[in-house]
Amino acid sequence: MNKIYYLSTCDTCKRIISELDLPTNVELQDIKANPVSEKELEELKTLAGSYEALFSKRARLYKERDLKNKDLSEEDYKNLILEHYTFLKRPVLVHGDDIFIGNAKKTVEAAKTSLHE
């Protein structure tokens, strides 16, 4: 599977997608218009190793709900991501069996290398 989960209203996502120079075989999924399904999330978790790895602690709702002071389980992370798209760390690129999560420079460089080797 070659797919990128992103938010079309996010300037950082748009910049990274442009920077990655995506091949035509990479499907784009705007998670606001087309939220991640439970099946897709489970596939992402298998590649990432945990739901927490896919979870954005920078989401506004994370702060608003004071989630940092709660002891969240893997099931909590999963349910929160399914409940609201902002809880998915973005962008998430799946290229073959590799997964690249977030916008760290190192992650984007690794994704670029994977896509164009």
Q: In what order do the strands lie in the sheet with 92-95?
A: 27-30, 2-6, 92-95, 98-101
Region 2-115: CATH code: 3.40.30.10
Three-class DSSP category at 63: helix
Question: What is the percent of the chain where pLDDT is above 90?
Answer: 97
Give the residue from 40, 17, 42 showing the smallest Cα distance to 28.
Answer: 17
Mean pLDDT of 80-105: 97
Asked if residue 32 has pLDDT above 90, the reply is: yes
Mean pLDDT, the chain, rounded, equals: 96
Rounded Cα–Cα distance for residues 110 and 94 (Å): 12
When pLDDT is averaged across residues 21-36 and rounded to a whole number, the result is 96
Say what the pLDDT of residue 117 is. 84
What residue segments make up the domains of the chain, in order of their start?
2-115
